[in-house]
Structure 1
Amino acid sequence: MAYTKWFVFLCFIVLLAACGDDRSLVSETSIEAPVDDVEDVYSSSSAKVKSSSSSKGVSSAKETASSSSEYMAAIENKTIFGFALNGPYRAGSAVKVYELDAETFAQTGEYFEGKFLSDEAGSFVVTGVTLSSPYALFEVAADDSVTLKALVDLSDRDTVSVNVLTHLEYERIPYLVEKGYSFFAAKTQAEVDVLAAFGIEGSFANFEGLNIVGDDASAELLAVSVLSLCYGGESKMAGFLNDLATDIKKDGKWDNETAKAKIADEAQKKYFEGELGSICQNVLGWKKDLASRKVTYERYINDFWSEVYGLGTCRGSKSPVYSAKNSKSSYYGSDTGFVCMGGIWYKRLKAGGSLLCSVEREGAIIDESQMEYTSICSNGKVVRIQKQENPDDGDEDENEIRNGEDGELREGDKKFDEILGRWVDANEEDYTLMLDGCTFKRHGEISKSPKDGAYYYCDSCPDAILWYNNGAAPGEPPSWRKAVDVDFVRRDEKCEAGDVGRIIERADSVTGSFYCTVNGWTNLKDWSYDVPNEFRFNPDIDYGTLTDDRDGKKYKTVKIGDQVWMAENLNYAGPNDDISRCYEDMPVTCEAGGRLYSLSVADTVCPSGWHLPKKEEFEILLTTVGGIDKASNELRSISGWTNDYSGSDAYGFSAVPTGGALIESNHGSFFSYSGYNAYFFSSDGYVFSIHLWAGTTISGKGGAVNDPNEALLPVRCLKDAE
Structure 2
Amino acid sequence: MNTTKILIALSTTLFWACTEKPNEAGTTEIENTMAGNPGEISAPDDGGLASESFASDTKNGLKLGSCLAGLADSPSLAKRAAKAATIAENSSNGLPKAYILNDGNGNYQVFVLKVMDLCYVEADLLTKRSGDTLEIEYGPDRVESACTCYSDHWFDIAPENKDIRYFKFSGKIYEIDPGPAPGPSKKVKKTDEGPELTDARDGQVYKTIQLGEQTWMAENLNFEIEDGVQSWCNGNKGENCDKYGRLYTLAAAKTACPPDWHLPSVDEWPTKGNGGYSAFYAYGVEGWGNAKDEYGFAILPAGNYQAEFQNFLEPGLLAFFWTSTIDKLNHNCPKMIHVGDGFEGMVSVCSDNENDGLSVRCVKD
Q: TM-score, normalised by structure 2?
A: 0.43
More strand by share: 2
The one of the two structures with greater contact order (alpha-carbon pairs below 8 A, sep at least 6) is 2
More helix by share: 1
Q: TM-score, normalised by structure 1?
A: 0.22
